[in-house]
Amino acid sequence: MKFELWQIDKTKDKNLALAIDKLLARLQPLHPLSLKTIKGGANKGLSPQQIKERQGQTILDLLQPADYLILLDEKGTLSDSRSFARKIERWRDMPTKRGVFLIGGAYGFSPTLYKRAQQKLSLSPMTFTHQLIRLIFMEQIYRAFTIIHNLPYHNE
């Protein structure tokens, strides 16, 4: 399975963006991952619910029917790094062509995205900005593949 990480709008903090790019480059030899930025659109005057619905529809329009959608969501399942690596291995070996990890916008996901998702992952019971979670999750994906490939990074 090919993995993609989708995010709403660009990472605004240049230092976060640089750190994400660095981890993405380090990950490529282990398992290719592409990063896709989805424009959140003009949301002026819209309620949070309307913004979630609009972003949800945009994402649904971009998904293929066979895509395996994994939401990064506070209501998702918690995993330690080793069990997350085992999940990644199982997903990687599935016959589905594309696995999409989705980081939502500031207001989260629409009900239609929750229905469409096959998995929901939580990185912590704490709340982080959707901008910061990008770096945290990228580091966890990199860590998972170093575990899968028996590299020493996880023990650092």
**If you average pLDDT over every residue of the chain, what do you get?**
93
CATH number at residue 149: 3.40.1280.10
pLDDT at 43 (0 to 100): 78
The range of the structural domain enclosing residue 145 comes to: 2-155
Count structural domains, the chain.
1
58-84 average pLDDT score? 95
pTM of structure: 0.93
Q: 95: Cβ–Cβ under 8 A, 6 or more apart, which residues?
A: none
Is residue 21 over pLDDT 90?
yes
Q: Is pLDDT larger for residue 107 or for residue 23?
A: 23
In the sheet where 33-38 sits, what is the strand order? 33-38, 2-8, 98-103, 68-78, 119-122
pLDDT at 129 (0 to 100): 87
Is residue 128 over pLDDT 90?
no
Tokens at residue 50, please?
């309307």
CA 75, 95, 140, 149 torsion: positive or negative?
positive
pLDDT at 156 (0 to 100): 55
Neighbours of 121 (CB within 10 A): 20
